[in-house]
Each structure stands twice: as C-alpha cells, then as structure tokens.
Structure 1
Amino acid sequence: MKARWGLTILAFLLVLLGGYLVLSPYWALKGLQAAIERRDPAALEQYVDFPRVRASLKADLNAAMVKELEKAQDDPFMALGMIFAGGLVQALVDALLTPEGLASLGTGKDPEQASLEEVRQWRLKLQGLSRAYVHHKDDPQTGLVMERQGLRWRVVRIVYTP
C-alpha cells in the first residue's frame, strides 16, 4: 500500500515538473510583455540578460558592417561611411534595448513609432527544454532568443536583420 502511494506521489510530481518545463517559458513571456508595457526597467532586468544581449547584438551588427564593406571594396566612400557607421552601432544597440525598442522588433517601425502594445502580438516557439524563440506574428525572422537560466527564462540574444 505504501509503495502504491509512493508511486502515485512520484507520478504527480513528475507531471508537475513536466507542466512547469512546458509552461514556464510562456509565463516568462507574459512577464516580459508586462514589463515592456509598463516601461518597468527593474522588471525588465529580470527577463533580459542585458550584458549578453548587448555583446551579441554589437557582434552581429559589426559582422554585418564588415560583410557590407567586403562587398564594396572598390568604393572609397563606402569605406569612409563604414568608419562613421561604427560609431552608430552603440546608438542602435542602446535604442533597441529599451521597452520601445523591444516592442518595435518585427513591426518594421522605428522604436519611437512602435506601440508598446505590439508585444501582445509576440509568438513563442520552443526550441528544446532550455531555449525558446519569440517573434512578432508578422515577422518570424526578427525576434528574441530566450534561454533557461536556473529556474527562470531570460532573453539572451536579439535576432535582428539591420
């Protein structure tokens, strides 16, 4: 009889754990959306790993600039433009890492023009037990990569096509 109760309790705990593993990224997404809509930097900090996102976004933007520069090797004005564009990378990163900037992802709008309510149009795709991809319903190519960090989920990368 005790073994039967033990198995029942174990099965119940496994179902709870499975439910948590499946539902926790959706709860994190709801929290992220609420933090953006409220423009709450403290709450946003809980859902976004800002140092990691900044580093990956800068690397992606710099790589895109190098790629463009390689395409236009014979154009001296392009090279000069890329030198000045290097200084703009930090400004672009700073603009994207705001509630308005995050809300504008996938909308095709500038951060100043996007409505914070756009985050309600985000969709989540699980990519395993520790990774998820969040994107605007109209643009699956631009989005946020979330990873499990302990028991919580945080944005660790922005997938953005400049």
Structure 2
Amino acid sequence: MADSRRLKSLGWIAALVLVALLAWTASGPWRAVAGIRQAAQAGDARALARHVDFPALRASLKPQVQDRIVRAAGVDAQAGPFAAFGLSVASGLAGGLVDAMVTPAGLGAMMEGRKVWNRLGNVPPSARGDTSAQPGPVPEPRLRFESLSRASATVSSGDGGELVLVLTRKGTRWRLSEVRLPPA
C-alpha cells in the first residue's frame, strides 16, 4: 500500500514538473521579448545579444535590404551593363553592412546612437554633439505563435508600418532569428 502511494506521489510530481517545463517553454517568447525590450531601453548590447541568433538574423535581413536597393534603383538601373554592375556592387555592400551591423558590437553601436566607424574611434556621442543617443521607449509588441517552435512579435512604428520580429525555439530557449521589415 505504501509503495502504491509512493508511486502515485512520484507520478504527480513528474506530471507537475512536466507541466511546469511546458509552461516555462510556452512563456519563452514573452520572456524573450521582455528581455529584448529591457536591453534596448537600457542600451545593454550584451544582454540583447543573449536573445539574438545573429547568423539567422543576418540571413533574414540580407535579401530584404538587397531587394530594397534593387527596388529603389528601379528598372532603368538594370538596363545597361555598367548600371547592372553598379547595382550588384551596391547589393554586395548592403550585405556587408548587414554583416557588420548585426553583431553584438554593431547592435551596441546602434543602441548607443553611434555609427560603427565612430565606435572604432571610441568617440562618445556627446563629443560629436549628438544628443539623440538615448533610445526612446520600445513599443509593446503583439505576440502570436506561428508554430510550437516559432512565434512572431509585431511592433507598430510611428509611420504606420509594422516590424515583425520572429523568435524561434531551440530546446527551451527562444531567440530573435528573423526580422521582417515593413514595406518600403
């Protein structure tokens, strides 16, 4: 009789642990978004980096930035061989810019209101007369699950556009892996 009580107790404990683990995992997107918002408001690039999958984020941003360059150049830019060459160089530079900016140091530079080259020179924003270095409040996102391992947080911008931040789960950890830019 004591053994059956012990087995029932162990069964309930195991069930509670499983439910707690599932609840912890399911709350992951909200915790990740809250961590991203707090890090952005505090200007803490190191804390922000814990919530970002940099290779996946770069891979999602490169084609979007290159597409914007092609669209901005228009159809005439691809008409001649020199224009097409210039466009391909510009697209390559945009990919390099994404590679440089979507790093912990690049995020830190953006969060501090600096450009990457000013950060290398270690010139503080106040020395350049830049008073807009303090980040504004990060708007509250609308969060929804796309699947068991994917959630999106939609942030409305001041101009009516929407930025979609996609979080993916690996194990019990949720990280920012994709950004869908608003239409140009």
The alignment's C-alpha RMSD in Å is: 3.6
Does the alignment pair 1:116 with 2:136?
A: yes
Residue ranges of structure 2 left out of the alignment (5+ in a row):
114-131
CA distance in 2, matches of 1:114, 1:83: 35
Deviations 1:80-113 (A, max 9, x none): 6745743662587439953489xxxxxxxxxx79
- Supply the AA of the counterpart residue of 1:27: R
Partner of 2:41 in structure 1?
Answer: 37
**Is 1:47 matched up with 2:51?**
yes
| Conserved 8 A contact 2:66-2:95 | no
- State yes or no: 1:10 paired with 2:14: yes
Identity of aligned pairs, percent? 31
What is the one-letter code of the residue matched to 2:91? G
Tell me the TM-score normalized by structure 2: 0.63
Q: Given that residues 65 and 95 in structure 2 are in contact (C-alpha distance below 8 angstroms), is that contact kept between their aligned partners in structure 1?
A: no
Q: Distance in 1 between matches of 2:180 and 2:143?
A: 14
Change beyond 3 A, Cα 1:100–1:25? farther
Q: Which residue of 2 aligns with 1:145?
A: 166
Deviates more, 1:12-21 or 1:39-48: 12-21
120-129 or 81-90, larger mean C-alpha shift: 81-90
**2-side partners of 1:72 and 1:100: how far apart?**
38
Indicate the SS of the match to 1:148: strand
Q: Is the 8 A contact 2:40 2:135 kept in 1?
A: no
Aligned-pair distance for 1:67? Answer: 6.0
TM-score normalized with structure 1 length: 0.70
The equivalent residue for 2:177 is 156
